Amino acid sequence: MKWIDDFRRLLDRLRKEEPCGAPDAESGISCGEAVERLFEWLDGELDPKARKEVGVHFEVCARCYPLVMFEKSFSEALARLSPGEGLPRELEDRILSSLGEEGFTER
């Protein structure tokens, strides 16, 4: 699947780049802080101040933007599954396998 290859390239690129530890001027938060809140931001679970900070960071940060777009697109694709259908087992296995190959483990 093409998206798995894209995901692997994205993970590889993010792993090779130096992390952005300094907060950016627009949002006041760093890449690490923003990425830690990514899923809460996507799910609308942050308070208004944090939601704005994270959203502004993702709007202006070229490093974080590809990750945000991938996660957003992936979440939207999962949401299009039929209610009660769940993630097809084959797709779940491929995702977990790809993540394992990249060094990520289940918590």
24-39, pLDDT tens digit by residue? 667 788 888 888 899 8
Residue in the block written with tokens 């957003």: 72
> What pLDDT is stored for residue 49 in this prediction?
93
Q: Are 46 and 54 in contact (CB under 8 A)?
A: yes
Could you report the per-residue pLDDT of 46-73, keeping only the tens digit for each? 999 999 999 999 888 888 888 888 888 8
Mean pLDDT of 41-48: 93
The amino acid sitting at 79 is A
